Amino acid sequence: MKSDKIAERISSGIKSLDEILNGGLIPNRSYLVRGGPGAGKTTLGLQFLLEGASNKEKVLFITLEDSENNIRANNKIRLMELNEISFLDISPTSDFFAEVETYDIFSPADVEREPLTKKIVEHVKQIKPTRVFIDPITQFRYLNSDVYQYRKQTLSFLRFLVEQGATVMFTSESSSEAPDEDLQFMSDGVINIMRDKIGRFIEVEKLRGTSFQPGNHAIKIDSKGIKVFPRLIPNALRSKYEFEIISSGIPAFDEMLNGGIERGTVTILSGPSGTGKTTIGLQFMKEAAGRGERSVVYTFEEEKELMLQRCDSVNIPARKMIELGSLEIKKVEPLEYSADEFAYIVRKDVEENNTRIVMLDSIAGYKLSLREEDLQSRIHALGKYLQNLGVAVIIINEVEFITGDFRITEVGISHLADNIIFLRYIEIRGELTKAIGILKKRLSVFERSLRELKITKHGIRIGNPLINMRGILRGEPEIIETKNENPS
């Protein structure tokens, strides 16, 4: 999605969040960050300030709750960077409890508000910051005797900062007892940070004067701060690419496929365990390497070294391909990644490294990363996004049943495929062997016969069409005896 035509944007401090904001924050405006305790509001504010400091801007952190010492202690890894931030610490000290004052005529709020306000104004005018982070602004609620005065003072305070040339980010502590709808109306933008049993998410709820990418986007928080993984939008990016057929390098197999699979298509390789689905996918990558193209395998189940050993045994030079940079095998632990994070990893690799073939091995492992999310919508978004960039996508799908009723997938994604290649175990005269066939090919005709498949130390071998057999798909193959038309 392209950025709106606004003269200037400033970074939020997180590049991928800027993408969701369609280019970043509009300067000289105020932005509310909402979320529960520990959601990451302060971390986002620090990244916002550190981005300004890296650009030699004057930045100010106004803390009304946690002390400056605590903030620094909780960010020890970034301690040197925090030295570039000016702090105005007006959080309560221990002296407040030890030296309690009584107010006989005026309420404590009325007495404390004026010196506090004066302190903030003097500090802002002295530093002249271009970025201000206030954490949390809801503390002002307790410095006013009524709701009207609180709203009036808060709005006046935000306008004062903006008029002084600052872009303001502030947090709120919302609860049923003290809702923050008034702050949402006052702000030019609202960013929500949420956490549930699946993980953490960020959502831009409001951005006045410009569009943004809606919905929840996965995030992670580590010692370096917040990482945002924008949800894929299938049609957000398109690349012109030439129609091209990708050969498997096996003449008989290419004959079945009418030349091979096409660039910018999704191919499902489906079959029971051990039939050779991954090996066939790697065969397409072997041929692509010969043309100088880069391919990536994302393996959710099999370890990288085991896959390499299997390649060694079937004459696929995967180790050499990796050494030359034409192949990468990435082991993915699905429970460590959300669907958004995994999609972001794939997307960045394709965009930055010009990857031309991507294989997901397998769909069952990918499904684990979705946890309770919808598989069909997620795999559709990822597949379409890659297709729009001209990437050939290969999805490995393992069916549970070795024999019996024929089925392509057990998760209802076959309609997403442009090409479907299936593999089956069959028994011929008491010997277990494998058969391969093409069920679907959206862009061309294809051979409708099944062929015998053998995987040997010399590579993949495809036999002649099994024209003398029937009942293979229903798991009850029968040999059709041919009569000798010229008996002796």
- pLDDT-derived band at 382 (thresholds 50, 70, 90) equals very high
Q: How confident is the model at residue 1 (pLDDT cuts 50, 70, 90)?
A: very low
3-class SS at 96? Answer: helix
Structure tokens at 274: 């051990």
pLDDT digits (tens, 9 = 90+) for 131-186: 999 998 877 776 666 777 778 888 888 999 999 999 999 998 766 666 788 889 99
Q: Look at 28 and 112; give whichever has higher pLDDT.
A: 28
CATH number for the domain harbouring residue 358: 3.40.50.300
Beta bridge partners of 477: none
Pick from 20, 22, 78: nearest CA to 51? 78
CA 449 centroid distance within chain: 40
Domain tally, the chain: 2
Domain assignment present for 316: yes
Q: Are residues 252 and 207 in the same domain?
A: no
Q: Specify whether 256 is located in the same domain as 206.
A: no
390 and 255 housed in the same domain: yes
d(CA 51, CA 127): 17
Residues 132 and 181 in one domain: yes
Higher per-residue pLDDT: 480 or 188 = 188
pLDDT at 236 over 70: no
d(CA 415, CA 429): 35
Q: What does each C-alpha distance from 61 to 112, 171, 223, 390 come to in angstroms?
A: 20, 12, 20, 46
CA–CA separation, 381 vs 266, rounded Å? 12
Task: Note whether 225 and 275 are same-domain residues.
Answer: no
Give buried/exposed letters for 133-142 (b at 16+ CB in 10 A, else e).
bbbbbbbbbe
Prediction pTM value: 0.82
Report d(CA 441, CA 419) in Å as an integer.
4
Cis before 362 (ω within 30): yes
**Does residue 234 form part of some domain?**
no
Are residues 264 and 363 located together in one domain of the fold?
yes
Which amino acid makes up residue 144?
N
Average pLDDT over residues 412-440: 85
Confidence grade of residue 105 (pLDDT, cut at 50, 70, 90) = very low
Are 168 and 120 within one domain? yes
Domain co-membership, 130 together with 225: yes
Last residue of a domain, one of 229, 253, 278: 229
Q: Are residues 250 and 160 in the same domain?
A: no
Instruction: Tell me what pLDDT residue 109 has.
Output: 46
| Between 208 and 104, residue with greater pLDDT | 208
Domain for residue 240, yes or no? no
User: Both 64 and 179 in a single domain?
Assistant: yes
pLDDT at residue 487 greater than cutoff 50:
no
Domain endpoint, select from 229, 257, 277: 229
> Whole domain around residue 448: which residue ranges?
245-479
| 223 residue type, one letter | S
In a shared domain, residues 67 and 115: yes
pLDDT at 92 over 80: no
Better-predicted residue by pLDDT, 376 or 109? 376
Q: What is the DSSP string of 127-161?
A: H--SEEEEE-GGGGGGGSSSHHHHHHHHHHHHHHH
Is residue 5 included in any domain, yes or no? no
What is the CA 244 to chain-centroid distance, rounded?
A: 29
Looking at 204, 229, 254, which one is the last position of a domain? 229
How is residue 26 annotated by DSSP?
P
Query: 33-78 pLDDT, tens per residue?
Result: 999 888 899 999 999 999 999 999 999 999 988 888 888 888 765 6
Task: Provide mean pLDDT across the span 363-375.
Answer: 77
Distance between CA atoms of 168 and 172, rounded to whole angstroms? 13
pLDDT above 90 coverage of the chain, percent: 54
Selection from 443, 469, 445 nearest residue 256 by Cα: 445
| Interatomic CA distance for residues 82 and 50, integer angstroms | 7
Indicate the DSSP class of residue 61: E
The pLDDT of residue 178 is 65
N-to-C CA span, the chain = 76
Residues 147 and 49 placed together within one structural domain of the fold: yes
- Would residue 485 count as lying in a domain? no
Residue indicated by tokens 């909402």 = 34
Domain assignment present for 40: yes
Confidence of residue 279 (pLDDT cuts 50, 70, 90): very high
State the pLDDT confidence band at 227, using cuts at 50, 70 and 90: very high
Q: Is 406 a member of any domain?
A: yes
CB distance 189 to 206 below 8 Å: yes
